[in-house]
Chains A and B, each alone.
Chain A
């Protein structure tokens, strides 16, 4: 526990941005998370008791519950809840708009997104979940099939590093494509700035949900995009060739923030309807805090759901 402050120090995006290796960066984030939740990843996966069943030939003796045998004189086998049956697909936006980085932000949205992706992948692989990766802009450019092979993480890191293209985002097509590719029920983590039409996004998300995938949406935005702090007259040159505008930012600020809020509210509302977890990530906020805060609420809600299911059976 003494090492905790050190970890925290490295988890600040300002510091993280200085660490060039994505692998190291992700491990710092993830292990910091474990430190924060008091769960050591080195203790091994835990096994939770689920049920008893009658011993049949060929079962391992180790699992016979001798206490039950003492009471009933019959051999029962303990059954355990298997946890590592999760397939997690991390879909990362690599379009040009993700390369934006304001003066306020320590790293670009893309860097923030891949750091988060790598950290999540590490966490998942540590729990023996299968992790897949989809990089996209207009369409899915790279796709790594889900696997829980320990080498998967290395492969994934190599794929992630240094990928932003000049292309625009077409999120509808990407999500449709992804829905078609996933043959088994999966957890899709979509990390993007969502700079596309919201209706297309919502339709794509619906498609994913229709295939009974669980969807988590991480909306990555720059501090400047959220607060619009510009004072002096500025010529805004749109990335993804979305035009240019010379304006007096102070005059536009109010309307701009209204537009952003309207968009976020619309997406949030659609996500709630679809039982999609939606979270806005500010690239200036510490990555581990963002992830751990999210994971803490999520694990709490999952536990609640699981216990409700178990309690009912």
Chain B
């Protein structure tokens, strides 16, 4: 049975309808005639009798031909094909090949063994070239690369084999992550626009098939396990959707649209020790405070690694060497260490595996961290009750009269002359705030401030939006309505909610006493009190507070009272953070300052509010480096020097941030394609304006590949998995031996022939008339 199918069946259906068009036109013409009274009827009847049969025959023949022309033309457009290779000589069997080449960082891995000097990527390219050579001439080829972001290097069905081969050779390995989902999506798009018939398409994924590329994809339960587990029977998974997730869905789509080949490059037994993370432990970095860092080392190999060393390099000098005694297969170890960096400014810290160690992937043997070290963190404490002493030098008990005094003492506990403290508090009154330059500060705290001019609120909003931190403490002077109007959601947006009526009485003997609730405590602001319910912090007595109704969209409740009311609510505005404390920072409404935990609380509040050191400067390879610029800096040339040389950065005028006074400028740099440290400089100075660290996506370090079972659980469609050695061009070709034969050219030829016959017959019949 020969079955003709169509690539565009609906066009074929439309063509069938259109084929009836000549008949309809004929019928309409038959209905439209004029009436003529005629005398010489005898001659006419005689003439008609002589030629009636011939005319009818001619009419039918022409009608049939015209129907045929329309029908066949529509069929040619609908692209018919035969599902049988026996008719291949009649028609073309072009196969559209899509090569998906993995050029992500993991492809730099060098497997030991027979060919020690070639990387997986080089072998992938060689395999791709041999595949290309095996494709019959005239078959279109497309190429997609998988390094994020995935690209269609030959993003169309290219018939020029030489050009395709050149493009294939031009692909270089990158240090970016694998974007398998993006690559398969591009491949699916190419198949959709493919000139070949549905059965005549093939996708070859040349990759190390890292299992980590499928992270986050839900797995299909193996059928046997599902049957064995009773709870699985209670909630049966619908069989139509055994896999979920964007990558699985795309891969399934490709597997159904085309013949899908996975060609695995590389061996399973690859040894790889990687540094997967370097980060700070504390938010405040600078001054005398040593930088507390942690590095994570993971063993992705199959053997126990003993005696590996880690070099910690600070500003190109090896600061110390750490030793890992033993790390089992699949094990991860976090190493903590402290670094003292006295020089304020941008610094880079690199952690590197010791020189003597070699594994499959060298790229993940080092990792960098950009750190901004500050001399001090200026904190501006604004006190609403400043009967005396506001602005006076710190020291002595006199400061403890207002809330600001308590806070200043807690933040800078030992202000002995000549000794530097990281946090540098300064107390001013609310009236002084108006003339105060805010940008010089890192944190501003409003303590019991009654009310402020609207222009001051908007300046504060701009300060926070640009990365500053703002804390608001309640107090008897706070004008509730004024705060709600000017600092709330409708105003400057500095209050993460709406203030309500004060609760409780300041006189503890007259009213109820509230405590902080230790339940569901997970906010980083209160990190030292997590799982420490027996500390004095939770025995704090609060006699009065100014409650806040948190704004559901913007606010997070950090701490609640035992009656459920929020005690501390945090939020953010632009690049900065906000905190509202519903009680006082002095002894007026609470006895918290009398507790030893008050200092820890104040320091952590400041640490949380303070701009993060190197925040936004530690990125993955391929991310855009961004740094804010002042209008003056924006006029100067911007350069970024990285591992691959110096490049010009882009100046972008960023949209006005909410609450910011004016639109800001931003430097952007997209060409961070290699792992390492990038230093941005402004103008002709060599001084680093900002230091960035671009690191490898840790998922690339895990070289473990998916086996056939693993792929089957993720792809709900037919595919073939071949290893490097099994792969030959003939092998892949074999799967397409029964490819369907396209008949479009034949149909187009038929249309032309029918048209010619129709024209000749019409002219001939016309001449006979």
Contacts and interface: CB of A to CB of B under 8 A. Distances in A.
Interface in A242-284: 242-243, 245-248, 250-256, 258-260, 263
Contacts of A256: 43-44, 47
B41 interface: yes
Given A232-B34, A235-B33, A248 B55 contact: yes
Contacts, number: 95
B40 A254 contact: no
Interface string B30-67: 10111111111111111110110001001000000000
B41 A243 contact: yes
B45 A243 contact: yes
A251 B59 CA distance: 10
B32 A239 contact: no
A242 B39 CA distance: 8
B36 A259 contact: no
For chain B, which range describes its interface: under 10, 10 to 19, 20 to 34, or 35 or more residues? 20 to 34
Given A233-B29, A233-B30, A252 B42 contact: no
A225 interface: yes
A246 B33 contact: yes
A234 interface: yes
A281 to B, nearest CB: 15
Given A233-B29, A254-B769, A259-B43, A100 B37 contact: yes
Given A236-B41, A245-B41, A254-B769, A259 B30 contact: no
Contact of B48 (A98, A232, A235, A245): A245
B34 A235 contact: yes
B768 A254 contact: yes
Nearest to A232: B34
Contacts of B55: 248, 251-252
Nearest to B31: A233
Given A233-B32, A239-B38, A253 B769 contact: yes
Interface string A207-246: 0000000000000011001000010111111111011011
A195 B36 contact: no
Given A230-B36, A250-B769, A263 B43 contact: yes
Nearest to A102: B36
For chain A, which range describes its interface: under 10, 10 to 19, 20 to 34, or 35 or more residues? 35 or more
- Which DSSP category, helix, strand, loop or mixed, fits chain B's interface? helix
A97 interface: yes
B47 A239 contact: no
B47 A236 contact: no
Contacts of B32: 232-233
A193 interface: yes
Nearest to B54: A251
Contacts of B46: 255, 259
B434 to A, nearest CB: 95
A280 to B, nearest CB: 13
A245 B49 CA distance: 11
Given A251-B51, A251-B769, A260 B36 contact: no
A195 B38 CA distance: 12
Nearest to A108: B39
Interface centre among B32, B37, B44, B45 (most CB of A within 10 A): B44
Given A243-B45, A253-B769, A255-B47, A237 B40 contact: no
Interface string B4-48: 000000000000000000000000011011111111111111111
A255 B51 contact: yes
A255 B40 contact: no
A251 B764 CA distance: 12
B39 A225 contact: yes
B42 A195 contact: yes
A252 B48 contact: yes
Contacts of A238: 38-39, 41
B40 A195 contact: yes
Contacts of B45: 242-243, 245
B47 A258 contact: yes
B33 A252 contact: no
A193 B51 contact: no
Contacts of B769: 250-254
Interface of B: 29-30, 32-48, 50-51, 55, 58, 766, 768-769
11 contacts: A233-B30, A234-B34, A235-B35, A237-B37, A238-B41, A239-B41, A240-B39, A243-B41, A245-B48, A247-B44, A253-B769
Across the A-B interface, the 3 shortest Cβ-Cβ residue pairs? A238-B41, A255-B47, A100-B39
Given A221-B40, A255-B46, A259-B47, 18 more contacts: A97-B39, A98-B39, A100-B37, A195-B40, A225-B40, A230-B36, A232-B34, A234-B34, A235-B33, A235-B35, A236-B41, A237-B38, A239-B37, A239-B39, A242-B41, A242-B45, A251-B51, A252-B51
